Amino acid sequence: MTTETTPLSELAAATARRRTFAIISHPDAGKTTLTEKLLLYSGLIRTAGMVRGRKGGKTTASDWMGMEQERGISITASAMQFPYKNAVVNLLDTPGHQDFSEDTYRTLTAADSAIMVIDAAKGVETQTRKLFAVCRMRRIPVLTLINKMDLPGRQPLDLMTEVEQALSIHASAINWPIGSGSDFVGIVNRADSMVQLFSKTVRGGATRVETNTLPLAELGSHSRVSEEMLAQVQHDLELLEIAGNPFTRAQFLSGEVTPVFFASALTNFGVETFLDAFVDLAPSPGARPADREDGAEVSVNPIEMPFSAYVFKLQANMNPKHRDSTAFLRICSGRFERDMVVKHHRLGRDIRLARPHSLVAQERSTVEEAYPGDIIGIINPGVFAIGDTVSLTGGFNFKPLPQFQPEIFARLRPTDVGRRKAFDKGLSQMAQEGTVQIMRSLNDQEALIAAVGRLQFDVLQYRLRHEYRVETILDALPFTCSAWLDGDPSTFKSPSASMMVKDKRNRVVVLFGDQLMKTIARDRNPDHVLRDMG
Ligand code: G4P
């Protein structure tokens, strides 16, 4: 069943072309640079260097909030759509600097695959680990790009081992670097033993790199490849043949193996090969699990089901004069048309999806139609909450979004007790939008706020001041991690410097002073389970 105007084949073809993905990485690994190169190689921009704006006052289209400009960072996480070869790519932005937040995690739930960018000198870092854990939980297949090969880095084989050990996944090298640091001159594609040698482009890889393709057997005769470099590549390739993991697309899609590529996003070495492999390997939108109103589990097929979508992110106040927010919806099935009237499942009423927009290469534009995998932004006059399902048919809800382990905690109160009502209203609005989580002590006497990143508290206080005219005092609490507790709280042996609270769904959460305390708590309470995601 589809809308009359869309023949099934057209919907199927549009869906098959979609690649909706996110980049997971630790700050500075090269996510922004790789994004730029995607735009460069898609032909959308002719010279790289336009997507900047995360640091140092250079602005992007998403810099909208006063505070963002003051800090020169981007708080907003949104999506960009552009064509890449035969694919239509939807890149979800996962903020990673100080603006790392629950939104970063939630955005991942809207992705069908992820690219993990790793700095060759640093290996697997904390934020990468955390984001990878979400991919694993959501069964999102991950491609690995070892970046900054033009700088002195660690041995490629070491990096492969680290990925495997730190993330408990098999890593399979699709290509292998020739030389490293200033001697990084090319890559060998392992499947057909063809080599790509790259020539340096203008500074910063602003234009496409010149590539010379030759068989591996001829590499020795090339002037830029020393005997040592050749010996090293041959040695590594032999070792990989014997001890490396095989690669199949099925194993990649099931999350058992991550294909590994080597590149320098800055100089463009290896970038195009990687992007081509990405669009070949990454899945198009598949079926999504949902709960029918009678409680039965169903699978929402992107092509067979008419339009359906869910809200994965709310972004406040594009215009500070209004309290409107933008709701970002991920389309899960069917064709979307502007001004479509759909069922809002939680509210049990029809709503019109008016003024939909998307970001195409950072330019906001109105969406006339969209397909599964696409992200649309809808002005939200307070009707959408995180996780809401909308559809043409009604009768089911996509699985609730998980809550992610908060890492910072505080008590918050209005400076003027007379503003208590406005304070409560603002706080509950922002909790609904997912800016912060509100938790209560087990006896309900006390409330506290929790978030994944420090900036969320700043956003909360800023918005309470500007939108609700409430000045607040924040007392930080000395906890740095938390976990949802499965099991009887009365028999849970709490370590020192910990506290038990309840989340909005009345589930018990334990707050810990540090990671060590959490580990001790796990050891001491073998009959309880401490979960990082709720
Ligand atoms: P992020 O979004 O993951 O935080 O990283 P981003 O792309 O901003 O890259 C962080 C820094 O690393 C930038 O330098 C960028 O130019 C550099 N970089 C990214 N990829 C490569 C690479 O393959 N090789 C080398 N040598 N450098 C790379 P910056 O000096 O901090 O910023 P900028 O002044 O270049 O903007």
pLDDT tens-digit readout, 492-520:
999 888 999 999 889 999 999 999 999 99
- The arithmetic mean of pLDDT across residues 315-319, rounded, is 61
249, 281, 313 - which closes a domain: 281
- Cβ-count burial of 359 within 10 angstroms (0-12 exposed, 13-18 middle, 19+ buried)? buried
Q: With respect to residue 32, please indicate whether it lies within any of the assigned structural domains.
A: yes
The per-residue pLDDT for 276 is 96
CA distance 24 to 469: 37
363 in the same domain as 247: no
363, 398, 433 - which closes a domain: 398
Pocket test for ligand 1, best of 25, 33, 148 (most atoms within 8 A of CB): 33
Q: Is the pLDDT of residue 260 over 90?
A: yes
167 in the same domain as 38: yes
185 in the same domain as 74: yes
| Higher-scoring residue by pLDDT: 248, 377 | 248
Report pLDDT digits (tens) over 23-50.
999 999 999 899 888 888 887 665 555 4
**What percent of the chain has pLDDT above 90?**
63
521 in the same domain as 432: yes
Mean pLDDT of the chain: 87
147 in the same domain as 23: yes
211 in the same domain as 102: yes
CA distance 468 to 186: 57
The per-residue pLDDT for 216 is 93
Q: With respect to residue 375, please indicate whether it lies within any of the assigned structural domains.
A: yes
Atom number of ligand 1 nearest to Cα 147:
23
Q: Is the pLDDT of residue 264 over 90?
A: yes
**pLDDT bucket at 432, cuts 50 / 70 / 90:** confident
| Higher-scoring residue by pLDDT: 393, 365 | 393
In one-letter notation, the amino acid at residue 476 is: A
For the entire predicted model, the pTM comes to 0.87
153 in the same domain as 53: yes
Q: With respect to residue 364, please indicate whether it lies within any of the assigned structural domains.
A: yes
Q: With respect to residue 6, please indicate whether it lies within any of the assigned structural domains.
A: no
CA distance 55 to 33: 13
Task: List the CATH number of the domain containing 415.
Answer: 3.30.70.3280
Q: Which two tokens stand for residue 151?
A: 């700088």
**pLDDT bucket at 368, cuts 50 / 70 / 90:** confident
Q: Would the CB of 245 count as within 6 Å of ligand 1? A: no
How far is CA 503 from each of CA 2, 461, 500, rounded to the nearest angstrom? 40, 21, 10
Count structural domains, the chain.
Answer: 3
The per-residue pLDDT for 47 is 54
151 in the same domain as 136: yes
368, 398, 428 - which closes a domain: 398
Nearest CA to ligand 1 atom 36: 52
Distance 206 CA to ligand 1 centre (A): 13
Distance 34 CA to ligand 1 centre (A): 9
Distance 120 CA to ligand 1 centre (A): 12
User: Which structural domain, as residue segments, surrounds residue 66?
Assistant: 16-281
Q: Is the pLDDT of residue 51 over 60?
A: no
The per-residue pLDDT for 533 is 80
Q: Is the pLDDT of residue 149 over 80?
A: yes
CA distance 407 to 372: 34
Atom number of ligand 1 nearest to Cα 264:
23
| Higher-scoring residue by pLDDT: 333, 70 | 333
Q: Would the CB of 99 count as within 6 Å of ligand 1? A: no
- The arithmetic mean of pLDDT across residues 467-484, rounded, is 94
Q: Would the CB of 27 count as within 6 Å of ligand 1? A: yes
270 in the same domain as 158: yes
* Of the ranges 298-302, 323-327, 402-406, the best mean pLDDT one: 298-302
CA distance 153 to 376: 40
- Report the range of poorest mean pLDDT among 92-106, 310-324, 362-376: 310-324
